[in-house]
Every structure is written in structure tokens, then in C-alpha cells.
Amino acid sequence: GQSLEQPSEVTAVEGAIVQINCTYQTSGFYGLSWYQQHDGGAPTFLSYNALDGLEETGRFSSFLSRSDSYGYLLLQELQMKDSASYFCAPMDSNYQLIWGAGTKLIIKP
Amino acid sequence: DGGITQSPKYLFRKEGQNVTLSCEQNLNHDAMYWYRQDPGQGLRLIYYSQIVNDFQKGDIAEGYSVSREKKESFPLTVTSAQKNPTAFYLCASSDLQGARVNEQFFGPGTRLTVL
């Protein structure tokens, strides 16, 4: 079967670093994507990991361990505008993204 | 600018009426998707299409119908058979041929309320 686990909510302070973990189980696996969605908006693509290791894009980094079916999104130098929901979305063998309920990131000043 | 448009942004309908949500893309993407999102939840796949004149059911296709007569367009009809249609509907597309096959581009969404 398919399953996806992320924390439902994470709280952090402006300027700090936060890590959002994701564990998954899919039928076939091509890679792991991360999306950001602000309240009332559409998801926007953040990053994609096809291979093990860390991918860095500015303040955001994403990590994948295929053997552990685990990944995380690391957000550094948090800003108030980073308050949003973050979704990890593994891609299965049919090129379909698997979506969970996401992690709501709350940032306090 | 290339992108995906959905219209309208807000839609109100009476119970028992069919309603069609528009989705158009000018990104020349092969694949298009319809998702439903309920408050505080993730995205659930309704239908997807990887080529013109062909589409596949997703996880929650019951009560919905789609067509893909043109590459650019993928309208979704919410029928009266859908028991709880009030939700946020998101259309997306992706390029199955390119290097960014993993990336789905989303439209701004349509918030449907059935009264």
C-alpha cells in the first residue's frame, strides 16, 4: 500500500532553523518532491530529490534517503512569509504524486 | 507569460446542479490533473490525463467527469452525484517529456460552495 507521514504542525521562531520530516511508502518510487502552500493559495514547487543526499536551494534544503524511505525539508533563517503548509510528495511508478495532509509551519516573531 | 488559469475563483451553486470548472494551460504540458482539497487536508486526485482524448480516474473520481479534447484544456464537471462537492479544486499540469517531469504547476484554484 501507500502511506505518508509528516508532523501535522511545527512551530518555530523567526530567524531560526526548522526541519520537517517525511517518511513514505509507495508502490514504486522515482523521487521526493516538496511543495509550499500558503493559506488560500495553490501549492508551489520547492525541491525534488531523485538521489540520496542533500539538495540546496537558497534558504531551503531537502534531503533524501531512499533506503530509509525518509526525507526532510530544512528551512533556514526563517521569515514570517515562510508561514505556510509544506507537503512532501513522493512520485510513484506512474509519475503520480502522493499527497498527505502536510505540515503547517507556524512562525513566531 | 506561461501558466495555468482556472475560472472562476469562487463559484456558488445550488444542490443538485451540475457545474463545470475551467482549466487552461499554455505551458505545452502533456499531463493535466484535477485535485480536490478540503480544509486542513492534503490534495486528493480526482482525474488525470497524460494525452489528448485519454484520461484516468484518480482516487476520488465518483461524481466527477472530465474531457481532454485539446492539449491546453481539461475541464472538470462536478455532477449532482457528488455527495459533498463543497471544496477547493486545483488543476495542475506537468511536462512528461522534459527534465522537470517531477514538477507539477498549479492553477490558482476554484473554491466551490454548494448551497
Q: Report chain B's C-alpha Rg in angstroms.
A: 13
Mean pLDDT of chain B: 92
Q: Averaged over B81-90, what is the pLDDT?
A: 93
pLDDT at A10: 97
| Reported confidence tier of residue A108, pLDDT bands at 50, 70, 90 | very high
Residue B56, pLDDT > 90, answer yes
Nearest chain A CA: its distance from B33 CA (Å): 10
CB contact under 8 A, B43 and A43: yes
Report residue B71 CA to chain centroid gap.
Answer: 14
Residue B97, pLDDT > 80, answer no
CB contact under 8 A, A99 and B43: yes
CB contact under 8 A, B103 and A48: yes
Nearest to B106 among A42, A95, A102 (CB): A42
Which chain B residues are within 8 Å of A33, Cβ to Cβ?
Answer: 102-103
User: From CA B102, how far away is CA B26, in angstroms rounded?
Assistant: 18
User: pLDDT digits over A4-22, tens only?
Assistant: 999 999 999 999 999 999 9
pLDDT at B89: 98
| Sign of the alpha-carbon torsion through B22, A101, B85, B88 | negative
Query: A43 and B105 in contact (C-beta within 8 Å)?
Result: no
Residue B98, pLDDT > 70, answer no
User: pLDDT digits over A45-96, tens only?
Assistant: 999 999 999 999 899 999 999 999 999 999 999 999 999 999 999 998 877 8
Q: Averaged over B23-38, what is the pLDDT?
A: 95
| Reported confidence tier of residue B99, pLDDT bands at 50, 70, 90 | low
pLDDT at B100: 63
| Reported confidence tier of residue A27, pLDDT bands at 50, 70, 90 | confident
Nearest chain B CA: its distance from A30 CA (Å): 9
Cis peptide before B8 (omega within 30 of 0): yes
Q: Averaged over B94-104, what is the pLDDT?
A: 75
CB contact under 8 A, A42 and B31: no
DSSP-derived 3-state class of residue A82: helix
- Work out whether strand B76-78 and strand A60-65 pair parallel, antiparallel, or are unpaired: unpaired
Residue of B nearest to A48 (CA): B102
User: From CA B10, how far away is CA B16, in angstroms rounded?
Assistant: 18
Residue A59 CB coordination number (10 Å):
13
Which chain A residues are within 8 Å of B109, Cβ to Cβ?
Answer: 41-42
Query: B61 and B47 in contact (C-beta within 8 Å)?
Result: yes
Residue B45 cell numbers, joined = 486526485
Nearest to B102 among A41, A48, A102 (CB): A48
Q: Averaged over A22-46, what is the pLDDT?
A: 94
pLDDT at A95: 78
Report residue B14 CA to chain centroid gap.
Answer: 20
- What does the buried/exposed string (b/e) look like for A13-36 if buried means 16 or more CB atoms within 10 Å of the residue's CB? eeeeebebebbbebeebbbbbbbb
Q: pLDDT > 70: what percent of chain B? A: 95
Residue A11 cell numbers, joined = 512551530
Q: Looking at per-residue confidence, does B101 or A91 come out higher?
A: A91
CB contact under 8 A, A99 and B42: yes
pLDDT at B1: 63
- Residues of chain B whose beta carbon is less than 8 angstroms from a beta carbon of chain A are 31, 35, 40-45, 48, 50, 90, 94, 96, 101-109
- The single residue listed with the C-alpha cell 482516487 is B59
